[in-house]
Every structure is written in structure tokens, then in C-alpha cells.
């Protein structure tokens, strides 16, 4: 007996969405690696303001991860907006890390 694809039947992941998720995860992972380096340096320097900023950035990274997870269940009409929000969050995240980098070097 053949079955049809119903809403309760799991569907194969959208390859375009998978590629997008992989791209964002790679960007976030790269930024996370930098963040870990900065955290070690900030702790070494006892730079409390920078440590606080690092903790905020860790929370921002977790929020990005949650939004990426949410893409899997988002309806097609919401994907464009959700991706735009994630892109904006990733840009802010990376810019904040660059700003932090300048503070810790200077």
C-alpha cells in the first residue's frame, strides 16, 4: 500500500535550508572560536567589562542557535523573514566580536 506525503509524515530536509544552516553555523563557530580566545585573554587581564560583554555574546550565540533550530519548523512564508533576522543577528554578533577584539588588543 502506497502512502502519500501528509503533514504528519516527516519530509526530507530542504537542501537550500540545510546549506543556509550550515553556512550560518560555520560563521557562528568561527566567531565562537574567537570569542573563546578573547575570553581567555580578558580573564588573564582581569578585564571585567570585557568578560561581561563576552557573556552577553555567548547568550547572543545561543539565541542564534535557537533561531536556526526554529527554521526547521517554520512555514515557507516565514522563512525569508526568519533568515533575514538570523543574518542580522549574525552580523551584529560578528561586529561585536570585532569591537571586543579591538578593546582587548588596545
pLDDT tens across 32-85, in order? 899 999 889 888 888 888 889 999 999 999 999 999 999 888 888 888 899 999
pLDDT of the residue at 66: 94
Closest CA relative to residue 35, chosen from 97, 87, 96, 95: 97
pLDDT for 45: 84
pLDDT value for 78:
86
HEC per residue, the chain: CCCCCCCCCCCCCCHHHHHHHHHHHHHHHHHHHHHHHHHHHHHHHCCHHHHHHHHHHHHHHHHHHHHHHHHCCCCHHHHHHHHHHHHHHHHHHHHHHHHHHHHHHC
Where are the chain's structural domains? 15-24+31-105
What confidence score (pLDDT) does residue 74 get?
Answer: 81
pLDDT interval class at 2 (50, 70, 90): very low
Amino acid at each position: 500500500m502506497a502512502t502519500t506525503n501528509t503533514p504528519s509524515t516527516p519530509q526530507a530536509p530542504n537542501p537550500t535550508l540545510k546549506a543556509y544552516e550550515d553556512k550560518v553555523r560555520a560563521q557562528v563557530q568561527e566567531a565562537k572560536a574567537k570569542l573563546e580566545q578573547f575570553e581567555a585573554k580578558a580573564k588573564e587581564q582581569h578585564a571585567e567589562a570585557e568578560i561581561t560583554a563576552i557573556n552577553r555574546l555567548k547568550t547572543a550565540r545561543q539565541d542564534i542557535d535557537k533561531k536556526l533550530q526554529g527554521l526547521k519548523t517554520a512555514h515557507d512564508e516565514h522563512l525569508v523573514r526568519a533568515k533575514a533576522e538570523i543574518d542580522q543577528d549574525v552580523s551584529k554578533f560578528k561586529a561585536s566580536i570585532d569591537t571586543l577584539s579591538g578593546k582587548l588588543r588596545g
